[in-house]
Amino acid sequence: MRYESPTTTREAVTLLSKEKGKAYVLAGGTDLLVRLRMDMIDPDLMVDIKRIPAMNEIKKTATGFKIGAAVSGKQLGANKALVKAWPGVVEATNLIGSDQVQGRCTMVGNLCNASPAADSVPAMIAAGAKAVIVGKTKRRTVAVENIVTGPGQTSLAKGEVVEAVTLPKRPAKSGDAYLRFIPRTEMDIAVVGVAVSLTCKRGVIDSARVALGAVAPTPLLVKEAAAAIIGTKLDDEALDNLAAACSAACNPIDDKRGTIEYRVRVAGVLAKRAANIAFERAGGKK
């Protein structure tokens, strides 16, 4: 294996495109180096993106936030403006692993690792996040929900690198939240994850996005769930409709962490709770 640590995105893309063998992008390494250690991968090249300045920044832009692909969970949690605007996204990322893992793990790594149970991905989807992808010949910006195509699979082409994710600017009276269910209090993989982002106008939910994790081969954007709460003050009927829409969208596996029946049911319960938190953060009153 060769190790390269380029200082520009262009250089990283060139290295990855030219490699004839198996090439991997190394961000925080909290998934990739575990797979390396367990002999699940046999790389010819690893391209470390942590020396690329543009990938280490959290930038407040005219259109929202741009978070570099090498920004760690710890850095994310320390950015007050981001925590204020997108508490749900930051919480979701900060749920990943221990403090040791937080010092290294990245949102973009969580996205590109493409685990169905990734915590930050439903939160990003609910937030309307977009991935800024740089390839050999062009740059493209893709909604986060269109990146993961299956467990461990993404829509990225050979040589393409996600340079950053963008989060839109927050209108007043907005809130987001992410909740996951795990059998313990810390350090576990989601059995179900639910993210809700919404904006209120005159006390009523004007727009919303709801996303689920760990209940299907990919994280899901559930439009029917958002529709169930838009135009409401999140009354009990709206919450029941939200829960039903979330449960209906689930297509989970049966495994040691949770049965199909259990995951389907918990998705609805968590959706209600996450929606209540997001609504409260948006200043909504019932």
Nearest approach in angstroms of CB 132 to other proteins is 24
Residue 6 makes contact with other proteins by CB under 8 A = no
Of the listed pieces 30-38, 144-152, 158-166, 248-256, which binds other proteins according to CB under 8 A? 30-38
Contacting other proteins (CB under 8 A), which of 5, 56, 207, 276?
A: 5
Question: By CB under 8 A, which span of 26-34, 134-142, 216-224, 273-281 interacts with other proteins?
Answer: 26-34
Nearer to other proteins, 5 or 241 (CB): 5
CA 177 from centre of chain:
12
Site residues (CB under 8 A) for other proteins, limited to 194-213: none
**Pick from 47, 84, 87: nearest CA to 69:** 47
272 binds other proteins (CB under 8 A): no
Instruction: Output phi, psi for 145, to 5 deg.
Output: -65, -10
Q: Are 195 and 178 in contact (CB under 8 A)?
A: yes
Q: Which of 101, 142, 227, 253 binds other proteins (CB under 8 A)?
A: 101
- Nearest residue to 170 via CA among 197, 147, 142: 197
Nearest residue to 282 (alpha-carbon basis) of 168, 158, 197: 197
Three-class DSSP category at 178? strand
Q: 40, 80, 99, 256: which one contacts other proteins (CB under 8 A)? A: 99
Check residue 36 for interaction with other proteins (CB under 8 A): yes
Q: Which region among 81-89, 95-103, 218-226, 243-251 touches other proteins (by CB under 8 A)?
A: 95-103
By the 8 A CB rule, do 63 and 44 touch?
no
Q: Does 97 bind other proteins (CB under 8 A)?
A: yes
The answer to whether residue 37 forms part of the interface with other proteins (CB under 8 A) is yes
Length of the chain: 286
User: Looking at 172, 186, 202, 236, which residue binds other proteins (CB under 8 A)?
Assistant: 186
| Pairing state between β 139-143 and 130-134 | antiparallel
Binding mask 50-69 for other proteins (x = CB under 8 A): x-------------------
Indicate which single residue of 43, 68, 175, 284 sits in contact with other proteins (rule: CB under 8 A): 43
Measure the CA–CA gap between 261 and 108, rounded to whole angstroms. 31
Residue 264 CB, nearest approach to other proteins (Å): 29
In terms of Cβ atoms closer than 10 Å to its own Cβ (0-12, 13-18, 19+), residue 39 is exposed
236 is an interface residue for other proteins by CB under 8 A:
no
Which amino acid is located at 126 in the chain?
Answer: A
Cα–Cα distance for residue pair 178/270, rounded to 1 Å: 9
Is residue 258 involved in binding other proteins (CB under 8 A)?
Answer: no
Helix (H, G, I), strand (E, B) or coil at 94: helix
How far is the C-alpha of 59 from the C-alpha of 19, rounded, in Å? 31
Residue whose C-alpha is closest to residue 274's, from 183, 178, 205, 185 = 178
According to the binding rule CB under 8 A, does residue 257 interact with other proteins? Answer: no
109 binds other proteins (CB under 8 A): no
Binding site for other proteins (CB under 8 A): 1-3, 5, 26, 29-30, 33-34, 36-38, 43, 46, 48, 50, 72, 74, 97-101, 103-104, 186-187
